[in-house]
Each structure stands twice: as structure tokens, then as C-alpha cells.
């Protein structure tokens, strides 16, 4: 009986003193949620550097793929534009081979490879 009184007294004292709930740190729907800057993806700096040196209007997409080892350049070039694709590859190669990037793929409008490059060798 005495333990019951102590527990009831403690509960009453807690209610009267306005102690914080264990759930007070859970945000409400109308609370402002903190915004975080997304973590940079692998190769973001390389993509920006390549985009900055591209002069061809045919370049549509620049991405780092294959576990951060390959630079992919998607273009609007057709199958007959292999020389233009090699020029895009060579321009990208001037700045792309940093970090783990070791190869470049330039695709045409039909998603076929028009040119490729490997670190230390010219694009073909």
C-alpha cells in the first residue's frame, strides 16, 4: 500500500511540475524541418569541369558512371559523326582524368558508342 502511494504521489508531482515528455523532441507536422545539403555524388567536380570545356552543341548529358570510374557523354551526334565524337572525347579528356576516372564513353543519338578514351591514350 505504501509503495502504491509513493508511485501515485510521484505521478501527481510529475504532472504538476510539467516535466518534459520523452516525446517532446519529435517534430510536429507544422514544425520547420531542417534542410540538409545533399552529399556530393562521385565525380561532381569532374562533370562540372567537363561541362565547362565542352564547346559542342551536340553534348546533352555528362555523367560519371560505373562506380565512379567512367565519364559518360551523351550526344545528339549520328553514326556518321565519329570525328565530332572523337573531338568531344578529346575535349573531355583534357580535364576528366582525375581521381578514379580512367575512361570516357561518347554515345550518339541512338545510344551507340561513337568514341571511347582511356587514360594515357588518345580517344578512338
- Residue-wise pLDDT for 17-70, tens only, equals 444 444 455 555 555 555 655 656 778 899 999 999 999 999 999 999 998 999
Distance CA(85)–CA(72), nearest Å, equals 12
Whether pLDDT at 101 is above 80: yes
Going by pLDDT thresholds of 50, 70 and 90, the confidence category of residue 106 is: very high
pLDDT (0 to 100) of residue 23: 43
**By mean pLDDT, which of 22-26, 94-98, 113-117 is the weakest?**
22-26
Strand pairing report for 103-107 and 59-65: unpaired
pLDDT (0 to 100) of residue 32: 59
Whether pLDDT at 10 is above 50: no
How much of the chain is in helix, strand and coil states, percent to nearest 5? 35, 20, 50
| Mean pLDDT to the nearest integer, 69-86 | 97
CA neighbor of 74 nearest in space, from 103, 50, 106, 46: 106
| Mean pLDDT to the nearest integer, 3-28 | 47
The DSSP line for 6-64 is HHHHHHHHHHHHTPPPTTTTSPPTTSPPP--PPPPPTTHHHHHHHHHH---TTEEEEEE
Whether pLDDT at 104 is above 80: yes
* Average pLDDT score over the chain: 80
Whether this prediction's pTM lies above 0.75 is answered by: no
| Mean pLDDT to the nearest integer, 89-102 | 94
Distance CA(14)–CA(27), nearest Å, equals 23
Amino acid at each position: 500500500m505504501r509503495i502504491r502511494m509513493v508511485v501515485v504521489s510521484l505521478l501527481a508531482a510529475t504532472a504538476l511540475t510539467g516535466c518534459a515528455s520523452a516525446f517532446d523532441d519529435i517534430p510536429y507536422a507544422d514544425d520547420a524541418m531542417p534542410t540538409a545539403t545533399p552529399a556530393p555524388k562521385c565525380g561532381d567536380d569532374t562533370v562540372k569541369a567537363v561541362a565547362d570545356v565542352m564547346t559542342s552543341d551536340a553534348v546533352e548529358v555528362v555523367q560519371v558512371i560505373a562506380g565512379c570510374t567512367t565519364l559518360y557523354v551523351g550526344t545528339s551526334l549520328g553514326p556518321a559523326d565519329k570525328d565530332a565524337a572523337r573531338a568531344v572525347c578529346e575535349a573531355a579528356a583534357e580535364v576528366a582524368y582525375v581521381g578514379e576516372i580512367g575512361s570516357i564513353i561518347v554515345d550518339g543519338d541512338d545510344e551507340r558508342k561513337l568514341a571511347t578514351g582511356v587514360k594515357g591514350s588518345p580517344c578512338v
